[in-house]
Amino acid sequence: MRLVSATPLYLLSFFVTVNTTITASAFEFNQKLDLQIRADERSSNKIRYQYRARYYPSVTFTDALSVHAFAVTGDEFGSSHNTVNDGAADYLYIRRAYLRHEGNYGKTEAGVIPTYKGKVSSTGLSKDGWIQGIRFVRNMESNARLEMVVGQLESNDPADALGLPDEIDYLEMEYSADFNDETSFELSVEKMTQANFFRTELRHEFSAQYTGFAELVYRLDETARKVVIGIDTEFEMFGSATDVTALYAYVSDDFGERAELTEDFLGTGHGMTAELASGFGNSRWDWFVRYDGTEFRSRFIAGIKWSL
């Protein structure tokens, strides 16, 4: 389903006019919106200017039961940007629509559900992606969780995101827990993109400002792997909190399609990413710069974001 084919100005106007919260006796309606404009310069192509809109509406019926949706620009699983002045690239798709139930036991989500892998896009499935199925999360003792996902991820085209699943091709079982106050980990086994994977991620807070992370994803049937090592830090610059993320990634050539579902540039081989993000004082505006580099090409991105 291609919902919108319009100019960026029309898209911006549509979103900005729907930023209210409606409360009634039976339910509460909430919504979240962020808009982004960026310049994207790649070593293999000329500079291009892009925009992105993410919209998150939700309806809460009770403390336990709610319905959520997610609409975003872009026409790829791992990319949600449209290119300005490209008449063939003005897209807006609903990528998620699901029911959530939460309680002391944990939570259950059913429908076209989100992907919850990693803090940054290069340590898991893309944050703009989706799975058609059900997720069950069980809270355990000592701040541990057991998560199971069953569903389908057959097509990477957002136009197919809301289609009904016709077979089960996505299975995941994950255990996550804390070693102590500073160190946490995840262990999971996954079946997706017609392949089987083992995944583990470790995060450690060296201090209040520095957090290190490492991820290993091993493809069992091809002895291929993906490795990510990085660090997050925060400091004050120009009176605003500033976040810095830097990471190194390696993906085997025979790792498969899962690499493309993670990030839209690094792909396979050796790569690195460094990103700097901050705000403009106490306003709703943020700015960011990012560098991505691989063995064969590089990319520099700079932009601003507004959120509500």
3-class state of residue 79 by DSSP: strand
C-alpha span between 244 and 259 (Å, rounded) = 23
E strands, the chain, are 22-23, 28-42, 48-60, 65-73, 82-83, 92-103, 106-113, 131-140, 144-152, 170-178, 183-192, 195-205, 210-219, 224-237, 240-251, 269-279, 285-294, 298-307
Lowest mean pLDDT among 9-18, 27-36, 93-102, 117-126: 9-18
Mean pLDDT confidence for 142-158: 92
60-104 confidence digits (pLDDT tens): 999 999 999 999 999 989 889 999 988 777 899 999 999 999 999
C-alpha span between 120 and 130 (Å, rounded) = 16
Contacts of 216 (CB under 8 A, 6+ apart): 199, 200, 201, 225, 226, 227
Quote the pLDDT of residue 302: 98
Q: Which superfamily is assigned to 8-307 in CATH?
A: Porin (2.40.160.10)
Tell me the pTM. 0.86
